[in-house]
Amino acid sequence: MTIRLYDLVEAKDRSISPFVWRIKYALAHKGLDFETQPVGFGDIPKLCGGKYKTVPIIEDGAVSMNESLAIADYLDKAYPDRPAIFATPQERAMARFFDGWFGLEIMNRMFAINVLDIHNHARTSDQPYFRQSREARLGGKTLEQFTEGREAKIPELRNALRPMRAALSAAPFLGGDAPSYADYIALGGFIWAGTVCTVPLLAADDKLNDWLARGLDLYNGLGRVELYPLSA
């Protein structure tokens, strides 16, 4: 049976959730067939009887669930004969550590640069909700005020990526010779940024570009979607 994945999309139906992207990669890693169902922000509370506030959400037969880590765990448990997303509890723990680091240090910085771009790319019907909900988190600033002079934040983002560069100078993937859930977390973040962000985030000679190219090529080019240039 094909798994259904609810996918948050922008006005041109491109997938814009970094959390949905990591689950797309996790499903591909396990070699599981899945179909995506595009939804806007306003649709999420109406799905699955209103049980969930965020995507990713999957439906697999009678099972439905959200929360990306819970979904990854479920996939390993439900499909033990397929390649493991987390081969050991220790690998899962390190993936959680990476998730925390990447969210705090990298995605928060990307958000500070691209939040107005996300708004501008969202479906028109989603824009008022997106603006109101995000501005509520910005201490009284509008999206425009928050992102004013955003180019000045790019060097700090590049600097924060040093631990990834260090790891990737020794191996092709964060998982070593093969991609791991940490790679999928990071790829999801960069694809999210590239889908909306109108300023390139990486320098042209950044070694991360090589990893990014390898990552986007995985699973028959799963991540080879229309993106703004991520480097310049």
Interface with ligand GSH (CB under 6 A): 8, 17-19, 41, 44, 54-56, 67-69, 133
Please provide the size of the chain in residues: 232
Report in angstroms how near the CB of residue 19 gets to ligand GSH at its nearest: 4
- Given a contact cutoff of 8 angstroms between Cβ atoms, the answer to whether 214 and 172 are in contact is yes
- Closer residue to ligand GSH in complex, CB, 3/8: 8
How many CA atoms does the CB half-sphere of 78 hold within 13 Å? 17
Bond from prior residue into 56 cis (ω within 30 degrees of 0): yes
- For residue 173, the 8-state DSSP code is B
- Closer residue to ligand GSH in complex, CB, 147/195: 195
- Closer residue to ligand GSH in complex, CB, 97/213: 97
Distance, in Å, from the CA atom of 97 to the CA atom of 118, rounded to the nearest integer, reads 26
- Closer residue to ligand GSH in complex, CB, 8/157: 8
- Given a contact cutoff of 8 angstroms between Cβ atoms, the answer to whether 66 and 55 are in contact is yes
- For 67, the 3-state DSSP assignment is coil
Instruction: Kindly provide the residue ranges of all beta strands, DSSP E only, lying in the chain, ordered along the sequence.
Output: 3-8, 34-39, 57-60, 63-66
Identity of the amino acid at 219: Y
Report in angstroms how near the CB of residue 169 gets to ligand GSH at its nearest: 29
What is the b/e burial string over 151-189, where b = at least 16 CB atoms within 10 angstroms of the residue's CB?
eebbeebbebbeebeebbeeeebbbeeebbbbbbbbbbb
Report in angstroms how near the CB of residue 166 gets to ligand GSH at its nearest: 26
Report in angstroms how near the CB of residue 16 gets to ligand GSH at its nearest: 7
Report in angstroms how near the CB of residue 165 gets to ligand GSH at its nearest: 25
- For 3, the 3-state DSSP assignment is strand
Report in angstroms how near the CB of residue 106 gets to ligand GSH at its nearest: 14
- Closer residue to ligand GSH in complex, CB, 14/207: 14
Distance, in Å, from the CA atom of 197 to the CA atom of 183, rounded to the nearest integer, reads 20
- Closer residue to ligand GSH in complex, CB, 36/209: 36
